[in-house]
Structure 1
Amino acid sequence: MKSPPDKITLNALFASFWYQRKLILKLTRREVQARYRGSIFGLFWSLFQPVLMLMIYTFIFSFVFEVRWGKELESRYDFALLLFIGLIVHAFFAECLNRSPRQIHGNIIFVKRIMFPIEIFSWVTICVALFQAAINYLVLQVFFSLVHGTIHWTVLLIPIVFAPLIILTSGICWFLAASGVYFRDINETIQILTLALLFLAPVFYPVSALPPPFRPFIFINPITFIIEQARAVIIWGAMPNWPGLIIYYALALLTAWFGFATFRKFRGRFADVL
């Protein structure tokens, strides 16, 4: 088993993934399979669930409430598409954060093995959430093509748009994983926070619906900018906000480094606390 560099640098951060990529993939596959083990349809549920969700949102908001996002949208299905993009981003972020405080407690047997790289549990959590996000995204694109008869070429930029959120989330996951060892109440706190982030992000409403003085504050929510840029490249076929993405990447790398450094600093004491 290879070991990443001991120095807490950005190189060590990504090396924690690269050196253990095979183990991370194995654990991710095992966790995805375990999620649906015992069910009749197995992994089919990962595809059926987003299809069902999209159908329900389309019916409720487009046909029952006849909600419209704005004058620029003519299709009654577009609201469901916009809503689904926001939910995909939030679901990924919320799943990672909600599972992180329990990572160490749920893997005590590995924590007490000195040579086991326990920092990879955050990568596994992210990969599992990414698997479901990818399935949801596939459903979204199929539905979009059925509604509009085409797909914008700008969807190729989705990995670039989503990558900084993955980097940011990794840092938060490491920090929460370390904090969860010492503070048990953080699990319930994070669940409340992630629910609040759902309504404090432009998931069910556009940023333009807020009074101008409050609009800058909604971008404090880390998923707001990603949701807006994902909608730009998927729905509008527009280019993302490149300067904004560069700033987001910088903040995400800083957050990831801080979370990784915090985890590395306290991991030697986990076994004693547990």
Structure 2
Amino acid sequence: MAGPSSGPEQQYLGLYSKAWSDELAEQASVVFLVGDVRLPAHKEILMLRSRVLCGMLADLGPQEGPIVLEAPFHGFSAHQVARLLRFIYHPQLITPAGIAELRQDLAPLLRLAHKLDIPILVEAISKHVIETTKNASVETLVQSAGMAQACQLDRLHATCVCAIARKLVTKGDKGKSTNINTALHSARQLRQCDQSMLLQIIAVLAASAPAGSVDLQGKARPDLLQAAASQILPKPVAASNKSSAPEPLGTPPASDDPMEMLLQDYEQSST
């Protein structure tokens, strides 16, 4: 096998001296096949870092040549897998600064680290996401919450959902009009949420409602929910009329969708 003079493997083997990195490439006992890219690796190191790879490699037993692994990396780029190997081969780089450098690769790396069961990397990425929720946009938080849900990271998911709800509740120091516009802009980004996440966001908003926003029946006022619903539910079609007088918008069709039914119940309870 040729030495790592160029290519994604430079992400991890290139941190050693050239002579050593060339030798490591030549002595690879495992090859990660990502598309048409072959990434050399070493069984002993992989088995120490990843519980999933440890089990897979142990089951395969001794081989005459390098073991080729392809299936675990479907849906990931060679660059992303190489970045994962960088942390596997150089765990001292799993620092706040090292994780922050991932940027757009943060979500794929968390999914891959979770898939391969690399606890130290999953924990480091989760901690970084939690620490950056305050300054993250609603869109970023929705993506992070979805990522956490897919990886069954309950604490990270709950943190992101609460942060989304907090972003939707604007402060009253910039004027009512500005606050409404800000809330609507944030609500538009909820289109990416699935029904489960929307229900959780609504639950957080309802549970966190200040005393002044609860009616005599103990129900949370639906103002914020209606603003969000206007961005989520199918847009009603205005009735055609040549008169200058505005016509009321049509009502969305009845649906068995539990999310829509919940929002409609909130709207009816406010009338």
Shorter-chain TM band: under 0.3
Q: Larger strand proportion, structure 1 or 2? A: 2
Q: Larger helix proportion, structure 1 or 2? A: 1
Normalising by structure 1, report the TM-score.
Answer: 0.26
Normalising by structure 2, report the TM-score.
Answer: 0.26
